[in-house]
Chain A
Amino acid sequence: MIRVRGEKDLGIGAIYLALGLAGFIVARDYSFGTAGRMGPGYFPTVISSLLMCFGVVTTAKGMLRDGEPIGKINWKGLTLVTLSVCAFGFSLETAGLIAALTVLILISAAASERFRFEIRATIGLLALVIFCVAVFVEGLGLPMPILGDWFK
């Protein structure tokens, strides 16, 4: 079996290769044109090809030369922060800003090792929600429902 020697190089190389390949394949649908009359596919094709080259070189480097290991990935932080933002997006138009902010804050705060749901955190949460409603909706007039359809 081939031993991976530089995990970081291999990882980013694979990403470059995948993005370059995807960019290249999709760009085949756009007309390439000529150098004098560049079509919509010209520049993307060139960029994607270069990216694939970098992907190959970086991947090769990861296989052949010693590099750094990726190390431990913060799955908890990654999942909860991403989830909290998606939950905000999902509930904003259905449940309204107050609910969306509460969901966002609670899920994201759980990403921290140090977060405890105690009195200080509750007051902070309430203050932040009130601040956002007052400033962004009442003050700046952003078109966000304070209470969504679910509550009507």
Chain B
Amino acid sequence: MDIFANLWLGLSIAGTFYNLFYCLVGVFLGTAIGVLPGLGPVATIAMLLPITFGLPPESSLIMLAGIYYGAQYGGSTTAILVNLPGEPSSVVTALDGYQMARQGHAGRALSTAAIGSFIAGTISTILIAVFAPALAAVALQFGPAEYFSLIVLGLIASIVMASGQLLHALGMILVGLLLGMVGTDVNSAVPRYTFGMTSVADGLNFVVIAMGVFGLGEIIANLEDEADRSVMTKKVTGLMPTKEDWKRIVAPILRGTALGSLLGILPGGGAALASFGSYALEKKMSKHPEQFGKGAIEGVAGPESANNAGAQTSFIPMLTLGLPSNAVMALMIGAMIIQGIQPGPSVMTDQPELFWGLIASMWIGNLMLLVLNLPLIGLWVRMIAIPYHFLFPIIIVFCAIGVFSVNNNVFDVYAMAAFGVAGYIFRRLDAEPAPMLLAFILGPMMEEFLRRALLFSKGDLTVLVTRPVSAALLLVATILLALVLLPTIRRGRKIAFQEE
């Protein structure tokens, strides 16, 4: 099989000193922001994008990917030590992990999370290597109608994942699509919604929107409630799981990996849903479900493996179809476009170094996290203790400088401020902004595919449902929409998100 040849090529790219360095920087930064509540991977990746412009494409994507899965690790550290999930995906880890820490088993909980994540990362890396080429081969057969329907499916799926109200999320998609129209129309060269401003002739910059909505907007929201954070600074001892622990965690890790990998591939899926699903599954499978919530090690092993596997496999649709399944992947697509790479099925054949290098780097990055994180636990504990009122001005400084440096244009700074206000308002009105960012990135593609599909069919809209693959994709989107509207699932979804 050439999977091994491919992986070998990837390892030889990711294993160069230069790329190892950026991988390390990525996972280190990722863990740091995962530890710090109030700063997520979306804002961080948006902040760092301008710095990656000068790097080779491989290195920049390797670093950005490292931030994403590093954040999953960091989020679980705070969940276990302070009962404060740094990321939504580690909410369930806090349930049993914090209890373990209170009983003096913080070390075992942390190592279980790290080992589970590493095993999940290894398996899902292999899964990507096996399935991505197959999926890309299918995607190469796709015509514009199929792509249009796929985007519709992706957008619908993204709101299933959004917390907050469904109706609001659907509206946010349309807002995002409309924002995506700003700029010069590629076909007619007509400037749309620019109001005569040359700064937006090429469209709004997605870094501006991401930093404004996810950076500034979140800061304003966080400032509403400046609660004290009490940190468990007791010394963390007993880092290795016991023999008994190993027996208990192997099966949950494997089940979590399987579930996470599956949910990660689905458009709109990803780490958060995977960890919730895995926790429920482990509780059902366990002979002692009453231990859950009181420090069951399975309740840490399963969800932690699942969220890492989900984070990894969510790269599959991005790399093979050019479709982002969550806001972080949307930023990765933006990073690729800036580097002059058109994301899609051809990336694998045209730029195997980039593709396989990125995949191999994920495994290397997971190894780094396993080796680095446990000894560095003291540093992370100290980072949790940084008060937010020292932290947020620093975040604003990096946002402001970062957004200016994209085009060296002050207009972008003002635009970011405006999107910060918008982001805060959307949050206050229970309208999750993540689907908006996805729609903003996908909007221009969606219009172009629809235009081409209708050009071929001479304006016949039924082309979207007469072509089988396109019809199937739209059918799945409809079913998904119907499912979320069903009362029972709606209630379950509410429970899953109530802790956020």
Contacts A74-B223, A77-B220, A114-B387 given; indicate if A16 touches B174 (C-beta within 8 A).
yes
Q: Does B396 interact with chain A (Cβ within 8 Å)? A: yes
Q: Does B371 interact with chain A (Cβ within 8 Å)? A: no
> Would you call A26 and B193 a contact (CB within 8 A)?
yes
> Would you call A85 and B400 a contact (CB within 8 A)?
yes
Contacts A85-B417, A88-B400 given; indicate if A51 touches B178 (C-beta within 8 A).
yes
User: Contact string, A87-126, partner B, CB cutoff 8 A, digits 1/0?
Assistant: 0111011000000010011001101111100000100100
Contact of B388 among A23, A89, A112 (CB under 8 A): A112
Q: Does B56 interact with chain A (Cβ within 8 Å)? A: no
Residues of A within 8 A of B387 (CB): 114
> Would you call A144 and B404 a contact (CB within 8 A)?
yes
Nearest chain A CB to B389 CB, angstrom units: 4
> Would you call B226 and A12 a contact (CB within 8 A)?
no
> Would you call A74 and B224 a contact (CB within 8 A)?
yes
> Would you call B190 and A30 a contact (CB within 8 A)?
yes
Name the CB-closest residue of A to B421.
A82
Task: Please report the C-alpha to C-alpha distance between residue A93 and residue B408 in the assembled complex, in whole angstroms.
Answer: 11
Contact of A88 among B389, B405, B413, B458 (CB under 8 A): B413
Query: Quick one: which of B404, B416, B459 has the most chain A CB within 10 A?
Result: B404
Task: Bin the interface of chain B by size.
Answer: 35 or more
Residues of A within 8 A of B221 (CB): 74
> Would you call B389 and A85 a contact (CB within 8 A)?
no
Residues of B within 8 A of A130 (CB): none
Task: Please report the C-alpha to C-alpha distance between residue A16 and residue B269 in the assembled complex, in whole angstroms.
Answer: 26
Nearest chain B CB to A104 CB, angstrom units: 6
Q: Report how many residues on chain A are interfacial, defined by Cβ distance under 8 Å.
A: 69
Name the CB-closest residue of A to B455.
A36
Q: Does B401 interact with chain A (Cβ within 8 Å)? A: yes
Q: Does B447 interact with chain A (Cβ within 8 Å)? A: yes
Task: Please report the C-alpha to C-alpha distance between residue A136 and residue B402 in the assembled complex, in whole angstroms.
Answer: 9
Contacts A44-B192, A70-B429, A142-B405 given; indicate if A61 touches B167 (C-beta within 8 A).
yes
> Would you call A70 and B428 a contact (CB within 8 A)?
yes
Task: List chain B positions with a Cβ less than 8 A from chain A.
Answer: 51, 54, 165, 167-168, 170-171, 174-175, 177-178, 181, 185, 187-188, 190, 192-193, 216, 219-221, 223-224, 226, 387-390, 392-394, 396-397, 399-401, 404-405, 408, 410, 413-414, 416-417, 420-421, 424-426, 428-431, 446-447, 450-451, 454-455, 457-461
A-B contact pairs, 23 of them (CB 8 A): A12-B426, A20-B178, A36-B455, A40-B188, A43-B447, A47-B181, A54-B174, A58-B171, A61-B167, A68-B430, A74-B223, A81-B216, A81-B220, A82-B417, A85-B396, A92-B410, A105-B396, A105-B397, A109-B393, A112-B388, A114-B389, A124-B390, A136-B405
Task: List chain A positions with a Cβ less than 8 A from chain B.
Answer: 8-9, 11-12, 15-16, 19-20, 23, 26-27, 30-31, 34-40, 42-44, 47-48, 50-51, 54-55, 57-58, 61, 68, 70-74, 77-78, 81-82, 84-86, 88-90, 92-93, 101, 104-105, 108-109, 111-115, 121, 124, 128, 132, 136, 140, 142-144
A-B residue pairs, 4 tightest by C-beta: A36-B459, A89-B413, A35-B459, A112-B389
